[in-house]
Amino acid sequence: MFRDDSLNVDTTFFYAVTSVDSSFPKPESGYSMVLQAGTGRPPKLLSAETVHFKQMILTFNEPVFFHSTPFPVIRLKNENRYASSVLQMTDRKQLLVTFNEPFIANTNDTVSAQYVYNEKWIELDDFHRAVHYQYIKPETEPYVSEVKMISGKIIELYFSESMRHDDLTDLSNYSIEPSGNITEVQIQDETGQSIRLNLSADTPPGNAGIPLYLVLSDIHSISGTLLRQTDKISLNVMAADLGDILVYPQPVRPHHDKVTFGNLPSMVKIVIFNVSGMFVREIEGETDFGAIDWDLSDSSGKRVASGVYIYQVVFENRKKIGKLAIVR
């Protein structure tokens, strides 16, 4: 064995071996193959930061690597728990570490790493393999940041932070008031920050003159914080134009006392004519929950007769014309 005690740190050395035997006519042999050896410092574990209640990121002072065998061992000392998964981040100076169980909030602990190496395959030593760690439960509550009515039966919700997938897909965590149901939940992205809700066929349209609310319950962020409890989320979003006007019931039967024009912008004018083109009634004003009702009377207050009527909805400089039937 050969030992060299005169090495400098971060220096590359080259070695070749020769043998000497004075009993031979040529006492020294030729040189062996040249071997290269380097010296260096071990990597350092700098910090451990929470990603969410089961994950942390370990940051090192330089790029680090590991073998599949032995696999890195990441341990929370006080809780005596070991990571179930270790992934290398893009810059190679960080490891994404996942545990099976949530961290205990607001307690001091030490996280340590073994079998982690730098580019020269120098392993973490005992002086640089552990750092202090504390999981502090977030005080801020997640909330619904945006609501979009994609259609009369589809809603998109956006959250202020990532939410638990199991909570989002549990249909019992949603209700519609005064009536209706959620039939399906689709998570729009892997982070769980946006979802699409499908409403049942018996759920009233969101802009049909009926106050319609979505109520959420028992939904948590991935850090374990309960979604901020709002009383109700209104689904009565005003239409931007006249593209999808709702007119119901169609036809009007004897037991009906009104016709509702729904999915309207905020301020509209509705003019009604009979099939001969004669003026019957004009209704103008602000919509109530996205709709305006016609009480089936003419401009004098008299109940209109059976027949086909033409309606004209005016919004700004645009018009929408349609027909409706009244059966007495």
CATH of the domain at 313: 2.60.40.3080
> Do 162 and 105 sit in the same domain of this protein?
no
**pLDDT-derived band at 69, boundaries 50, 70, 90:** confident
Last residue of one domain, picked from the residues 106, 134, 162 = 134
Task: Assess whether pLDDT exceeds 90 at residue 198.
Answer: yes
Residue 240 maps to a domain: no
pLDDT at 41: 85
> Do 53 and 32 sit in the same domain of this protein?
no
> Do 82 and 26 sit in the same domain of this protein?
no
Last residue of one domain, picked from the residues 85, 106, 134 = 134
pLDDT at 124: 92
Average pLDDT over residues 299-310: 95
**Residues 47 and 58 sit within 8 Å (Cβ to Cβ):** yes
pLDDT at 28: 79
> Do 121 and 53 sit in the same domain of this protein?
yes
> Do 67 and 124 sit in the same domain of this protein?
yes
Residue 117 maps to a domain: yes
Residue 191 maps to a domain: yes
Please give the radius of gyration of the chain, using alpha carbons only, rounded to the nearest integer: 36
Task: Assess whether pLDDT exceeds 90 at residue 171.
Answer: yes
d(CA 220, CA 143): 10
Average pLDDT over residues 298-324: 94
Residue 239 maps to a domain: no
**Residues 136 and 50 sit within 8 Å (Cβ to Cβ):** yes
The encoded tokens of residue 210 equal: 């009926």
- Contacting residues for 105 by C-beta, under 8 A, at least 6 apart: 135, 136, 137
The encoded tokens of residue 16 equal: 């070749």
Residue 139 maps to a domain: no
Task: Assess whether pLDDT exceeds 80 at residue 44.
Answer: yes
Which among 214, 218, 234, 236 has a CA at the least distance from the CA of 226?
Answer: 218
> Do 128 and 53 sit in the same domain of this protein?
yes
Which among 198, 178, 129 has a CA at the least distance from the CA of 289?
Answer: 178
| Look-up of token digits 């033409």 | 310
> Do 294 and 257 sit in the same domain of this protein?
yes
pLDDT at 230: 62
Task: Assess whether pLDDT exceeds 70 at residue 183.
Answer: yes
Compute CA 105 distance to the chain's CA centroid, rounded to the nearest angstrom.
23
For 100-122, the pLDDT digits (tens) are: 988 988 889 999 999 999 988 88
**Residues 326 and 248 sit within 8 Å (Cβ to Cβ):** no
CATH number for the domain spanning 161: value is: 2.60.40.1220
Average pLDDT, the chain: 87
Residue 218 maps to a domain: yes
Burial classification of residue 273, based on how many CB atoms lie within 10 Å of its CB (0-12 exposed, 13-18 middle, 19 or more buried): middle
Average pLDDT over residues 202-216: 79
**pLDDT-derived band at 9, boundaries 50, 70, 90:** low
**pLDDT-derived band at 2, boundaries 50, 70, 90:** low
pLDDT at 40: 76
Task: Assess whether pLDDT exceeds 60 at residue 231.
Answer: no
pLDDT at 14: 75
What stretches of 125-244 adopt beta strand conformation (E)?
A: 130-134, 144-151, 154-159, 174-177, 182-187, 194-199, 213-216, 233-234
> Do 76 and 24 sit in the same domain of this protein?
no
Higher-confidence residue of 242 and 31: namely 242
pLDDT at 212: 83
pLDDT at 37: 64
Average pLDDT over residues 272-295: 91
Question: Can you name the residues that pair with 318 across neighbouring β-strands?
Answer: 315
Domain count of the fold of the chain: 4
For 309-320, the pLDDT digits (tens) are: 999 999 988 999
> Do 148 and 211 sit in the same domain of this protein?
yes
Last residue of one domain, picked from the residues 209, 234, 259 = 234
Task: Assess whether pLDDT exceeds 60 at residue 8.
Answer: yes
pLDDT at 184: 96
Which among 164, 169, 161 has a CA at the least distance from the CA of 141?
Answer: 161
Residue 229 maps to a domain: yes
> Do 93 and 163 sit in the same domain of this protein?
no
**pLDDT-derived band at 98, boundaries 50, 70, 90:** very high
Percent of the chain with pLDDT over 90: 48
Task: Assess whether pLDDT exceeds 90 at residue 82.
Answer: yes
For 245-277, the pLDDT digits (tens) are: 888 888 999 889 999 998 888 889 999 999 999
**Structural domain of 123:** 45-134
**pLDDT-derived band at 15, boundaries 50, 70, 90:** confident
For 123-169, the pLDDT digits (tens) are: 998 999 999 999 887 667 888 888 887 877 889 999 988 999 999 99
Residue 92 maps to a domain: yes
pLDDT at 53: 83
